[in-house]
Amino acid sequence: MKRSRTVSLMLAVAVGIGGLLHLQRGTVADVASNRPVQASGPAVFAAAARIDQLVARQYEKTGVSAGRLTTDSEFLKRTFLSIVGRIPTYEEARAFLDSQDKDKRSKLIDSLLESPGYVSNFYNFWADLLRAKSRIRGDNGNFYGHWIKDSLAANKPYDKMVQELLTATGRADDNGAAGYYLRDADNPLDTVSTTAQIFLGTHIGCAQCHDSKYDDWTRLDYYKFAALTREVVTRENQYGKELQKLRAEAKKQNLSSEARTVLQQLIRNNSYGVSDRSGKKLQLPKDYQYDNGKPGQAVQAKPLFGSLPSPDMGETPRQQYARWVTDKSNPMFAKVIANRLWKHATGMGIVEPVDDFSDSNRPLNPELLDFLAAEMVRGGFDMKLFLKKVYNSRTYQLAAASEDIVRSEYKMQTGMLQRMRAEQVWDSLVAIAVEDVDTRKSVASAAAGKLGGYQAKVGEYLEAKQPEKVIELAKQIAQERSNRKPGADKGAKPQEKTGKSDGAKQPGKAGDRKPDPDPASRKAARATATMVRDIEELKNFNPEEKRQVAQQLLAADFRDMTPLQKQAMIQKVVAEREAAKAGVAADGKKKAQGARGQGVGLLARASELPSPAPEGHFLSEFGQGDRETVNDHSTEASVTQALNLMNGKVSQLLMLPSGRLVANLRAAPDNKARVDVLYLSILSRYPSQAERSIALQEMAQNGLRGHTNLIWALVNTREFLFSK
Amino acid sequence: MDHTTLLRSMNYATRRSFMTAAAKACLGVSVLAMPSIVRAADEQVAAAAKGAGKAKSVIYLYMAGGMSHIDTWDPKPGTEGAGEFDPIKTSAPGVMIGEHLPLMAKQMDQCALIRSLNSKVGEHQRANYMMHTSYLPLGTARHPGLGPWVLRLAGRTNANLPGSVIVGRGGLGSGSGFLGTEYEPLLIGKAQDGLANINRPGMITEEQFEQRMSLLDKLDADFRKTYQTRGVQGYNEFYAEARRMMHSTDVEAFNLAKEDDATREKYGSDPFGQGCLLARRLVQHGVRFVEVALGGWDTHADNFDRVEELCNKLDKGMAALIADLRERGLLESTLVVLTSEFGRTPRINADRNNGRDHHPKAFSGILAGGGVKGGQVWGKSDKAGNQVDSDGVSIPDFNSTIAYALGVDHEKKLKAKDGRPFTLGNEGKPLVKLF
- The C-alpha atoms of residue A426 and residue A616 are separated, in whole angstroms, by 14
The dihedral through the CA atoms of A655, A659, A664, A668 has a sign that is: positive
Q: Which is nearest to B426 in space by CA: B119, B46, B44, B140?
A: B119
A73–chain B Cβ distance below 8 A for any pair: no
Alpha carbon of B346: minimum distance to chain A alpha carbons (Å): 18
| A chain contacts of residue B162, beta-carbon cutoff 8 Å | 639
Question: With a CB-CB cutoff of 8 Å, which residues 573-632 of chain A face chain B?
Answer: 585-588, 590, 615-616, 621, 626, 628-630
| Percentage of chain B modeled with pLDDT above 70 | 86
For B238, which of A641, A709, A714 is closest by C-beta distance? A641
How far, in Å, are A48, B264, B266, B320 from residue B323 at the CA level?
69, 13, 10, 5
Most A-contacting residue of B219, B224, B245 (CB-CB within 10 A), to test interface? B219
- The C-alpha atoms of residue B90 and residue B14 are separated, in whole angstroms, by 49
State whether B176 and A636 contact (CB < 8 Å).
yes
For A691, which of B138, B139, B219 is closest by C-beta distance? B219
Q: Which is nearest to A95 in space by CA: A113, A115, A76?
A: A76
- The C-alpha atoms of residue B30 and residue B33 are separated, in whole angstroms, by 9
| B chain contacts of residue A698, beta-carbon cutoff 8 Å | 215
For B201, which of A639, A652, A714 is closest by C-beta distance? A652
- The pLDDT score that the predictor gives to residue A449 is 46
Chain segment B38-62, per-residue pLDDT in tens: 445 545 544 444 567 899 999 999 9
| B chain contacts of residue A695, beta-carbon cutoff 8 Å | 219
| B chain contacts of residue A205, beta-carbon cutoff 8 Å | 137, 139
Alpha carbon of B76: minimum distance to chain A alpha carbons (Å): 26
How far, in Å, are A420, B52, B112 from residue B61 at the CA level?
34, 21, 15
Confirm if B295 and B168 have CB atoms less than 8 A apart: yes
Which amino acid type is present at position B97? I
Q: What single-letter DSSP state applies at residue A83?
A: H
Whether A543 has a pLDDT exceeding 70, the answer reads no
Q: A–B: how many Cβ contacts below 8 A?
A: 160
pLDDT band with cut points at 50, 70 and 90 for residue B435: very high
In 10 A of CB A631, how many CB atoms? 18
Chain segment B357-411, per-residue pLDDT in tens: 889 999 999 999 999 999 999 999 999 999 999 999 999 999 999 999 999 999 9
Whether B261 has a pLDDT exceeding 50, the answer reads yes
- The pLDDT score that the predictor gives to residue A592 is 33
The interface predicted TM-score of the complex, written ipTM, equals 0.80
Kind and range of the H or E run holding A53: helix A42-62
Give the bridge partners for B289, in sequence order.
Answer: B58, B164
Whether B27 has a pLDDT exceeding 80, the answer reads no
- The pLDDT score that the predictor gives to residue B15 is 38
| B chain contacts of residue A355, beta-carbon cutoff 8 Å | 139
State whether B227 and A710 contact (CB < 8 Å).
no
Alpha carbon of B318: minimum distance to chain A alpha carbons (Å): 22
State whether B197 and A644 contact (CB < 8 Å).
yes
The residue-averaged pLDDT of A157-183 equals: 94
How far, in Å, are A168, B43, B372 from residue B4 at the CA level?
59, 12, 20
- The pLDDT score that the predictor gives to residue A46 is 97
Chain segment B232-259, per-residue pLDDT in tens: 998 998 899 899 889 888 999 999 999 9
Q: Which is nearest to A389 in space by CA: A411, A373, A400, A407?
A: A373
State whether B139 and A724 contact (CB < 8 Å).
no
How far, in Å, are A159, A719, A722, B228 from residue A679 at the CA level?
42, 11, 15, 22
- The C-alpha atoms of residue A189 and residue A226 are separated, in whole angstroms, by 7
State whether A587 and B224 contact (CB < 8 Å).
no
* Three-state SS at A181: helix
pLDDT band with cut points at 50, 70 and 90 for residue B141: low
Confirm if A569 and A553 have CB atoms less than 8 A apart: yes
- Which ranges of B134-252 would DSSP assign to H, the alpha helix? 146-154, 206-226, 230-247
* Three-state SS at B123: coil
CB contact burial B250-271 (16+ within 10 A = b; e otherwise): bbebbebeebeeeebebbbeeb
Q: Which is nearest to A85 in space by CA: A532, A562, A605?
A: A605
- The pLDDT score that the predictor gives to residue B159 is 83
Which of B142 and A670 is assigned the larger pLDDT?
Answer: A670
Kind and range of the H or E run holding B63: strand B57-63
- The pLDDT score that the predictor gives to residue B36 is 46
- The pLDDT score that the predictor gives to residue A644 is 93
State whether A712 and B224 contact (CB < 8 Å).
no
Q: What single-letter DSSP state applies at residue B203?
A: T
Alpha carbon B273 to its chain's center: 15
Give the residue from chain B lying closest to A616, CA to CA: B189
pLDDT band with cut points at 50, 70 and 90 for residue B351: low
Give the residue from chain B lying closest to A643, CA to CA: B197
Question: With a CB-CB cutoff of 8 Å, which residues 694-713 of chain A face chain B?
Answer: 694-695, 698, 705, 709-710, 712-713
Kind and range of the H or E run holding B37: helix B34-48
State whether B189 and A586 contact (CB < 8 Å).
yes
Whether A601 has a pLDDT exceeding 80, the answer reads no
Chain segment A90-105, per-residue pLDDT in tens: 999 999 999 999 999 9
Whether A346 has a pLDDT exceeding 90, the answer reads yes
The CA-CA-CA angle for residues A147, A152, A153, to 5°, reads 95
Confirm if A699 and A693 have CB atoms less than 8 A apart: no
DSSP string of B127-152, one letter each residue: HHHHHHHSS---SS-PPPPHHHHHHH
- The pLDDT score that the predictor gives to residue A259 is 84
Chain segment A274-303, per-residue pLDDT in tens: 999 999 999 998 889 999 999 999 999 999
In 10 A of CB B409, how many CB atoms? 23
Alpha carbon of B387: minimum distance to chain A alpha carbons (Å): 14
- The pLDDT score that the predictor gives to residue A555 is 65
| A chain contacts of residue B218, beta-carbon cutoff 8 Å | 694
The residue-averaged pLDDT of A433-437 equals: 88
Chain segment A482-539, per-residue pLDDT in tens: 776 554 444 333 333 333 333 333 333 333 333 444 555 555 555 666 666 666 667 6
State whether A637 and B140 contact (CB < 8 Å).
no
What phi and psi values does residue B187 have, to the nearest 5 degrees?
-100, 130
Chain segment A216-271, per-residue pLDDT in tens: 789 999 999 999 999 999 876 678 888 888 888 888 888 887 788 788 778 878 88
How far, in Å, are A92, A102, A280, A496, B153 from residue A80 at the CA level?
10, 18, 49, 46, 42
Alpha carbon of A691: minimum distance to chain B alpha carbons (Å): 7
| A chain contacts of residue B172, beta-carbon cutoff 8 Å | 626, 628-629
How far, in Å, are A4, A7, A275 from residue A10 at the CA level?
10, 5, 50
Give the residue from chain B lying closest to A198, CA to CA: B139
Q: Identify how many contiguous H helices and E strands chain A contains and give both numbers.
A: 31, 4
Residue B432, CB half-sphere, CA atoms under 13 Å: how many?
A: 7
| B chain contacts of residue A585, beta-carbon cutoff 8 Å | 189, 193, 196-197
Chain segment A441-468, per-residue pLDDT in tens: 754 454 444 455 587 788 888 888 888 8
Kind and range of the H or E run holding B365: strand B363-368
Confirm if A682 and A720 have CB atoms less than 8 A apart: yes
Taking the CA atoms of residue A453, residue A456, residue A458 and residue A463 in that order, the dihedral angle to the nearest 10 degrees is -160
Chain segment A650-694, per-residue pLDDT in tens: 777 887 777 899 999 999 999 999 999 999 999 999 999 999 999
A650–chain B Cβ distance below 8 A for any pair: no
- The pLDDT score that the predictor gives to residue A442 is 58
Neighbouring residues of A241: CB distance < 8 A, sequence distance ≥ 6: none
Give the residue from chain A lying closest to B168, CA to CA: A587
Q: Which is nearest to B165 in space by CA: B144, B189, B186, B191?
A: B186
Kindly report which listed range (A22-31, B130-139, B283-292) carries the lowest average pLDDT score: A22-31
The residue-averaged pLDDT of B320-344 equals: 97
- The pLDDT score that the predictor gives to residue A10 is 34
The residue-averaged pLDDT of B299-321 equals: 92
For B215, which of A206, A588, A698 is closest by C-beta distance? A698
Length of chain A: 724
In 10 A of CB A328, how many CB atoms? 12
- The pLDDT score that the predictor gives to residue A524 is 59
| A chain contacts of residue B211, beta-carbon cutoff 8 Å | 709
Whether A17 has a pLDDT exceeding 50, the answer reads no
State whether A404 and B234 contact (CB < 8 Å).
no
State whether B215 and A694 contact (CB < 8 Å).
yes
Q: Is the peptide bond before A311 cis (omega within 30 degrees of 0)?
A: no
What phi and psi values does residue A112 have, to the nearest 5 degrees?
-65, -35
For A615, which of B169, B215, B224 is closest by C-beta distance? B169
- The pLDDT score that the predictor gives to residue B133 is 96
Please provide the average confidence, as pLDDT, over all residues in chain A: 82
Confirm if B150 and B136 have CB atoms less than 8 A apart: no
Most A-contacting residue of B211, B235, B245 (CB-CB within 10 A), to test interface? B235
Confirm if B348 and B81 have CB atoms less than 8 A apart: yes
For A709, which of B189, B215, B246 is closest by C-beta distance? B215
- The pLDDT score that the predictor gives to residue B354 is 86
Chain segment B62-93, per-residue pLDDT in tens: 999 999 999 999 999 999 999 999 999 999 99
Whether A307 has a pLDDT exceeding 50, the answer reads yes
Which of A613 and B134 is assigned the larger pLDDT?
Answer: B134
Chain segment B99-111, per-residue pLDDT in tens: 999 999 999 999 9
What phi and psi values does residue B62 have, to the nearest 5 degrees?
-110, 120
Predicted TM-score (pTM) of this structure: 0.76
